[in-house]
Structure 1
């Protein structure tokens, strides 16, 4: 019996799992919905769901088992992003995330060598200097402060803007545009469209300027290497790098600090205090935090099944079905991660899928990981007395947004 045959006896679950009656996804905190662990460990691991897209219900299948998720993310020949773009909560026309095959490889190839592990390693000193500068600003402001707005966002925004070559005077505007662009609820769709249009106009002007006056930055690279692409692709490539380059990483920093201060770990009152006593565990701790508390909200982008296929688990899918590969469920598959809900800084191996897998593996994964580790390491060394300025449960989490994170993170030291 295929998954489609099961629909007659299975009620479709509304997705995302924290969506309310207004159609807005309102996560109550950093913890993932209990459904993820449940679906990864029980049943077929393929769950009928329904999403609201442009006011219309769109049925899909949530893929939850680790091996199945990897298969969906790996096989562009069977699982197409291009054929499923109409089912995206965010307009990804012209953006790498919405492409398949040769088109995706061509556009990604324009910039991918600047985000490899060796290339990012060469940026370490620059990132450390930027983090130290932002920490000095935070300290000068005094407590309480907002760790997100006063430290994490400036650090990550300046890092990606430096690479692209966006002038410092223009950077604050990108936070406003980025917040609107990544909104994924019906209530904010018009604002997202306006933000994309305004960002596109700005970046097109920057690209045109680089064609006449090249500079040693990524905008110049895009202006030259992508000159034969459509205007839409040319402007949306830097949009995706800008928005993805700071929003996800800044929210990871804030989310992980919240978790470290609100969870006990072994014989320590908090995981933060454990890391103060065991600084060598920072890298492994960040990897485990990435597994449990991914800032990608509501799973990966949908894909259309192009041909009948059997997944590694044995579940059969039919051509035409819409599937959503859930990295949050896969990260809780007990066959890969024993006792998956337990935070374990000694978990080894830890092959989580929070950055994706296959051709669409997150282009900025190495840069983001470097920034998170640099930021947390600096805070642990220089502000060991850092603590939340409110109770953990009082922190408000962003609603109707494709990136999970706090609206603000009040801290003192």
Structure 2
């Protein structure tokens, strides 16, 4: 049995290697019970890295996200984000909020969006081809695809896309000061309030109009909850998808044989996308703590009531106890129960939409640019630092 007194907490998150490699300490941590870690700010926490432990915790209601509200939660920056949204509630409140937005993300509705996603991706691809090589695949393709899809779903006009991206750059920064964070957050709150009034005057078929109706007409959510839902839906629907598309393209382009193996095989894309989701370590110190509501034994560690616990899904996705050759990219991996979208009641509500965007993005690029390749040597690529989501500053490509 491990106790808090037996080991000095490790500094977390671990220094990220260049690219999308995982720090070698994860392999060691998976050999023993959950470790104690210390982030730059907030309380010490337990860190879960093994697949079985992570899956068990994510589905166990005794580990609460709502209990983090008001706590000095472990984090990478001084500011504490206030609660009230999907990631700060449990039980009936979480179910109520989730049900309010779930209709927009059902598999049937998202599949109806597939052709629209393909239309957007095709337009972006043709624009790149007409402009001629080279181009930044992130800026010219991944970014506008992700922001346009989530923007149309939520009801955010195209002229606000860059504004939203600038706001999210600040929200995802490890190094943002409390003053800067609150300044940008206030600006975005004002934008959200304006959007509420716009959708009251001009309701549509978008998700934001549905949220306004849920507050004004149905009384299912409070105004505070509506304001808290907006940034979560935008950030989850854009930041992760944008970077996952760009990172997935990078992973394939530095392995040209894998990219070539997908040409002319659209039926292979669903499995390939699942493997890319498992293989790419997207979060970088970006974990929402869950607090134990009672003493719980997890993976050989005694978690005391009130202790925060962090789950590193990237480490769990490389657990050799669950995945054969976990550090290898196996695009036709048959069994792939990765945790990139989480597990249990907080499973990512937009998972199916993200899958569709990734499948369509690769399908269009493979069809339109079969000769797509990096325009610079891999070692010249610049990885972002000090941000909660791993990604490149740019992804120069030619064809």
User: Into which bin does the TM-score normalised by the smaller protein fall?
Assistant: over 0.9
| Residue deviations 1:5-61 (CA, integer Å, cap 9, x gap) | 42xxx232111101xxxxxxx652122222233322x122x01111012xx5x3111
1:309 matches 2:299: no
Correspondence for 1:223 among 205, 212, 224: 212
The aligned runs of 1:230-249 (5 Å cut-off) are: 230-249=222-241
Correspondence for 2:273 among 270, 279, 286: 286
- Could you say what secondary structure the match of 1:411 adopts? strand
The aligned runs of 1:90-239 (5 Å cut-off) are: 91-185=81-175, 187-227=176-216, 228=219, 229-239=221-231
Correspondence for 1:81 among 55, 60, 65: 65
**Which whole-Å CA distance do the structure 2 matches of 1:295 and 1:189 have between them?**
24
1:367 matches 2:364: no
Per mean C-alpha deviation after superposition, the further-off stretch among 344-353 and 30-39 is 30-39
- Could you say what secondary structure the match of 2:97 adopts? helix
Residues 110 and 226, structure 1, Cα contact 8 Å, conserved in 2 = no
Unaligned runs of 5+ in 2: none
- Could you say what secondary structure the match of 2:359 adopts? helix
How many residue pairs end up in the alignment? Answer: 390
1:47 matches 2:35: yes
Q: Aligned pair in 2 of structure 1 residues 370, 189: CA closer, same or farther (>3 Å)?
A: farther
Q: Aligned pair in 2 of structure 1 residues 92, 274: CA closer, same or farther (>3 Å)?
A: farther
- Could you say what secondary structure the match of 1:222 adopts? helix
The aligned runs of 1:246-395 (5 Å cut-off) are: 246-263=238-255, 270-276=257-263, 279-298=266-285, 300-311=287-298, 313-395=299-381
State the match for 2:48 in structure 1. Answer: 63
State the match for 2:382 in structure 1. Answer: 396
Residues 182 and 192, structure 1, Cα contact 8 Å, conserved in 2 = no
**Which whole-Å CA distance do the structure 1 matches of 2:304 and 2:265 have between them?**
50
Q: Give, in angstroms, the shift of residue 209 of structure 1.
A: 2.4
What stretches of structure 1 move > 4 A for 4+ residues in a row? none
TM-score (normalised: structure 2): 0.92
**Which whole-Å CA distance do the structure 2 matches of 1:144 and 1:207 have between them?**
41
| Residue deviations 1:59-86 (CA, integer Å, cap 9, x gap) | 111012212111211123x111122244
Q: Give, in angstroms, the shift of residue 299 of structure 1.
A: 5.2
**Which whole-Å CA distance do the structure 1 matches of 2:111 and 2:211 have between them?**
22
TM-score (normalised: structure 1): 0.89
| Residue deviations 1:361-400 (CA, integer Å, cap 9, x gap) | 1111110110011001110111011111111122112222
Q: Aligned pair in 2 of structure 1 residues 379, 105: CA closer, same or farther (>3 Å)?
A: same
Q: Give, in angstroms, the shift of residue 277 of structure 1.
A: 6.6
Q: Aligned pair in 2 of structure 1 residues 256, 327: CA closer, same or farther (>3 Å)?
A: same
Per mean C-alpha deviation after superposition, the further-off stretch among 376-385 and 103-112 is 103-112
Q: Give, in angstroms, the shift of residue 298 of structure 1.
A: 2.5
| Residue deviations 1:190-233 (CA, integer Å, cap 9, x gap) | 33332222111111111122223322211110001134444332
| Residue deviations 1:270-315 (CA, integer Å, cap 9, x gap) | 321222375542221211111110322225311111101122x343
**Which whole-Å CA distance do the structure 2 matches of 1:180 and 1:27 have between them?**
23
Residues 396 and 407, structure 1, Cα contact 8 Å, conserved in 2 = yes
